[in-house]
Structure 1
Amino acid sequence: MADETSGQKSKGIPPIPDAAESWARQAWTHLESVRQATPLIQCITNFVSMDLVANVLLSAGASPAMIHAAEEIPDFTPQIHGLYINVGTLTPAWLPAMKAAAQVANERNKPWVLDPVASGASGYRLKACLELLKLKPTVVRGNGSEILALFRGSLNGTSKGVDSLHESTEAVEAAKSLAQISGSIIAVSGAVDIVTDGERVVGVRNGVPMLQKITAAGCSVTALIAAFVAVNPQQPLEATATALSVFGMCGEIGLEKAGGPASLRLQLIDALNGLDRDTLHHRAKIENM
């Protein structure tokens, strides 16, 4: 091997990058692709998150559209590049629109991402999330308790409202099994974000605890995943991991200037808008587990 490496150097062939460098390069490629392609992302998301979701997508270079009326889906959804569904303020009137949009996305081979907010908080909410899961989302992103509720298909103390009772690392095996059963990429947010396709497991260590103090931060990172997957539909696991890393590192950058959650929200958006390649390469913390 030493001789082969020496030969590569003598011929001017760069050495194969290590895993961390490879992940950083992918993260920059995905962010640049979003900025260049400006993918149209339809967001059927909750009332609390709409503002931050739209601003995060815009700052990343995507084009958000808050279209949730069932009557508009046949005309609008075929035009999108990606779909984001969030059940945070779920109502019976919205669920049919979510299902219809997911079905159109599937028919048109458009990726879509599900955020099963507080999936274990009530029987109605869990049933709705399980029905959406059957429609084969490309990616499902939730906290440990939300993913455990989906995997178990029952409440059983898996939820404290929208807050998680479980660390992401406690849900790794459930996430792997759920990925195998559903065919979706499963992402579990926490101190270490976990991403799995049922076989591979990737860990993302970017982020700051204060992001938990910002309403809709989790909703917004799921929307960012939708944008990254929209421009990289053939590699949804990689796109999911890099989106989580980019969002987390922008939280880190924002916290350096912020005085609290309110200013962190603003600084996060600015950091995402201004993120450059050198900073991303320096800060990306993605690893194969």
Structure 2
Amino acid sequence: MNDMTQATETFADALMGFTLPSRNARGRIVRLEGVLDAVLSAHDYPAPITHLLSDALVLGALMGGLLKGKQAQLTMQAQTTGGIVRLLVCDYRDGAVRGYADFDADRLAKLGANPTLSALFGEGYLAITYETEERQRYQGIVPLEGDSLAQACESYFSQSEQIPTLIRVASRAGASGRMAAGLLVQHLADGEEGRERLHVRLDHPDWEHVAVMAGSISHDELLEAGLSLETLAWRLFHEEDEVRVLPGAQLSRGCRCSSEHYAAIIARFPPEEQQAMRNDEGIIAVDCAFCSRTFALAI
């Protein structure tokens, strides 16, 4: 019997997890609305960058939602030398998401409305860093290849973690604001520990079945505001013996900047370096790229 029991339904600005026990698979679904607008409103991004950063925030939430522990953090950074997008960064910690993009506006304007990933980044790379609650850090780096950031993240999981992974991301702008959503599904080897997974599991019949089902999802389904995430999982996997729903974190814009935060960072520098940072009024001005605010520190 299929199990989808849940007291409430999830629609937007929250993560929802699920597992398919009989297929050794797990997944995450997310849809961003108000949180997405809050992050994007910090800068006047042109449409191609808005679309790119929207995808990145969804990916950060999907991957960050796999972490355990409130202080665990995922950071995703796409970077290139000489590319139009010089830096794209987002992170996730306990439901808080933030992101920022730095780019060459003049060169971007010459590309048209729908530039490819290679046109934006050239010979770029994607670095994904996990930090555990115990402050242990793990990082994987993959080339920014393929048609999307989602494909680069799939490559990260297959190369760095050897976990077969399917990711689908969609975003659009509408009259009521921007919306972005995504689905991540993974196949986990029996027993997990000490097993070789990639070459065995990519052609495992359970994973092939799950990947076909998950891959059938459409952009419109992901972005259908009135369709709950629980119903979306049911549509995809209703033929399975059991689908276990795992309520996830409520999401929020997660810029952690404050005068106290930056003052603590500046205090780590030697006095002579702090003095060199001061302006003529003796103030140290710190700009936060994530929220586009300037903090004036009189320390």
TM-score by length of structure 1 reads 0.29
Select the structure that is richer in strand.
2
Q: Rg larger in 1 or in 2?
A: 2
Select the structure that is richer in helix.
1
TM-score by length of structure 2 reads 0.28
